[in-house]
Amino acid sequence: MSNNTYHPGHTVDEKSNGRELSGSSQDAHGFHDEAAIGMGSPGDVFGSEDGHDIKYKTLSWPLVAVLMITEIVSNGMLSLPSSLAAVGVVPGVIVIVFLGVFATYTSWVLIQFKLRHPEVHNMGDAGMIIFGPVGREILSAGTIIFAVFATGSQILAGQLALSVLSDQKLCTVAFAGIFAVAVTLASIPRTLDSLGFLSIVGGVSIIVAGIVALAGAGAMPIRPGDIQIAVASDFTSAFISITNPVFAYAGHFMFFILISEMKRPQDAMKAAYVLQIVATSLYVVFAVVSYWYIGSGISSPSLLSLSPLFSKISFGLAIPNFFIAGSLYSHTASKLVFVRLFRHTQHIHSHTYLGWGVWTVLILLANGAAFVFAVGIPTFNYLVGISAALFASWYTYGLAGAFWLHDTFYFEGGFRGWYRKPVMLAVNVFTLLAGAFICVGGLYATIVALIRASKEGELPSPFQC
């Protein structure tokens, strides 16, 4: 751990580059007073917002839950039935449920870390506390890269949906461009609260699309009951299939940014519980029922295996989720840079030409890069897998262990704090190791799959119609 770590009674401010500032809102254990959190405590990201033109801390926990559901329960869900076909229904369901429980635990650790460090706005800020300036830059860059790639993945999902709906009457690049424009427009609002209504539409749309898809699979089954309890497979194929549910939960990289805009950050765990209950339940039901009715030949995304009518209806219903989730990702990448540039300046809270000009440029850059990467790089889907292995494995799982170890060490008596909680110590060491395993295994499996696809000529041409 870095020597620039956070110590009890002090906060590490973004502008201080590691210099310690007094923090009067903490108790002896490093916890911040709940009344101070979200009310402008000294280290708070946005401070007191009284009298400001632009107010960020307006999100209620139910709206945060909806934002989380919209972002996480998206096109990743549609690949889960094919994962069950690859590894078998029992291992697949066990992995989905276990990862849902695991993600709930790591959500709790991240939220506790945020409450102890209200100056943390994103994973880069957390990296500054744990690892120093190098950690800040690596975790900030990782957040931006993963968010831009995730935006590109949503653009491709929208491209596919529009192609199915139109029977491919336009060039797919044109569909991707149309969808990228929609994502860009939706991501322009400066505050997440402004995306609240859209997020409700997006969350409802993917749930309804999933229900309609199950109805379509049941109404016109292909090979009902053609399922396997467990499937023997090589490491690469099995690991890629297992990491589909791993990355279906990969939304933790946004949690700090979401919590920073809450009225009451101490209610964040309520939103996390709602998210994980909805996500895990929907994932299991959707994956099992789809696999049962369609059989072992199910496609990824699974909507392609439905009858033409139900495929079009389901894709049409899912479109709002695809572009709204994409807008949340590009908003996240832009917000990280914007706050890094203008924290504690008038441009954060006021309608200045410079503030809006920089924000607009950041939004255009994030979405423009996502579009170019998605349609211009033949290996883009594999790059998404690589970025998920490199970053999402740590943001969703591994880093939670580091956060717990750091705060327990500094707030509860050093090594004695660890030894007094042997079960928690073991759990969080396991969490660190699990993040490392997913990272290394995901990188290996994705790179091997990329090499195979290249040798077999399966990579598409750039900007292909």
Instruction: Say which residues have a Cβ less than 8 Å from residue 460's Cβ, sequence separation at least 6.
Output: 378
CB atoms within 10 A of CB 459: 16
Q: What is the pLDDT of residue 167?
A: 83
Q: What is the pLDDT of residue 378?
A: 86
In the predicted structure, residue 22 carries a pLDDT above the cut 50: no
Residue indicated by tokens 């849902």: 100
In the predicted structure, residue 401 carries a pLDDT above the cut 50: yes
pTM of the model: 0.87
**What's the whole-number mean pLDDT along residues 220-231?**
88
Confidence of residue 29 (pLDDT cuts 50, 70, 90): very low
Residue whose C-alpha is closest to residue 431's, from 136, 117, 135, 108: 108
In the predicted structure, residue 239 carries a pLDDT above the cut 90: no
Percent of the chain with pLDDT over 90: 61
In the predicted structure, residue 364 carries a pLDDT above the cut 60: yes
Residue indicated by tokens 């898809």: 213
Q: What is the pLDDT of residue 21?
A: 31
- Please provide the size of the chain in residues: 465
Residue whose C-alpha is closest to residue 114's, from 228, 272, 246: 272
Residue whose C-alpha is closest to residue 442's, from 150, 230, 246: 246
In the predicted structure, residue 25 carries a pLDDT above the cut 50: no
Q: What is the pLDDT of residue 352?
A: 94
Residue whose C-alpha is closest to residue 256's, from 403, 132, 445: 403
Structure tokens at 3: 């020597």
CA distances in angstroms from 402 to 1, 144, 255, 397, listed in the order given: 9, 21, 16, 10
Residue whose C-alpha is closest to residue 117's, from 273, 3, 265: 265
pLDDT tens, position by position, 369-395: 999 999 988 888 888 889 988 998 999
CA distances in angstroms from 349 to 44, 50, 331, 344, listed in the order given: 14, 10, 17, 9
Range from 178-187, 225-234, 442-451 that averages highest in pLDDT? 178-187
Give DSSP secondary structure letters for 133-200: HHHHHHHHHHHHHHHHHHHHHHHHHHHHHHHHHTTS-S-HHHHHHHHHHHHHHHT--SSGGGGHHHHH
In the predicted structure, residue 280 carries a pLDDT above the cut 80: yes
**What's the whole-number mean pLDDT along residues 318-341?**
95
- Per the CB < 8 A criterion, the answer to whether 54 and 191 are in contact is yes
Q: What is the pLDDT of residue 11?
A: 43
Q: Which of 7-11, 264-268, 459-463 has the lowest mean pLDDT?
A: 7-11
Confidence of residue 464 (pLDDT cuts 50, 70, 90): low
In the predicted structure, residue 39 carries a pLDDT above the cut 60: no
CA distances in angstroms from 412 to 7, 36, 52, 106, 420, listed in the order given: 11, 22, 38, 20, 9
Give the class (CATH, top level) of 53-455: mainly alpha
164 vs 327: CA distance, rounded Å: 22
Four-CA torsion 307, 212, 330, 65, nearest 10 degrees: -160
CB atoms within 10 A of CB 175: 24
**What's the whole-number mean pLDDT along residues 428-434?**
95
In the predicted structure, residue 28 carries a pLDDT above the cut 90: no
Q: What is the mean pLDDT of the chain?
A: 86
In the predicted structure, residue 109 carries a pLDDT above the cut 60: yes
183 vs 160: CA distance, rounded Å: 15
Q: Which residues pair with 13 in a beta bridge?
A: none
Confidence of residue 237 (pLDDT cuts 50, 70, 90): confident
Q: Which residues pair with 12 in a beta bridge?
A: 20
CA distances in angstroms from 26 to 9, 33, 109, 268, listed in the order given: 6, 6, 18, 19
**What's the whole-number mean pLDDT along residues 110-134?**
95
4 vs 130: CA distance, rounded Å: 8
Residue whose C-alpha is closest to residue 405's, from 111, 118, 130, 2: 130
- Per the CB < 8 A criterion, the answer to whether 86 and 231 are in contact is yes
Q: What is the pLDDT of residue 276?
A: 93
Q: Which of 31-45, 286-300, 347-361 has the lowest mean pLDDT?
A: 31-45
- Per the CB < 8 A criterion, the answer to whether 57 and 191 are in contact is no
The DSSP element (H or E) to which 10 belongs, if any, is strand 10-12
**What's the whole-number mean pLDDT along residues 37-52?**
66
288 vs 160: CA distance, rounded Å: 23
Confidence of residue 449 (pLDDT cuts 50, 70, 90): confident
In the predicted structure, residue 19 carries a pLDDT above the cut 90: no
**What's the whole-number mean pLDDT along residues 168-195?**
89
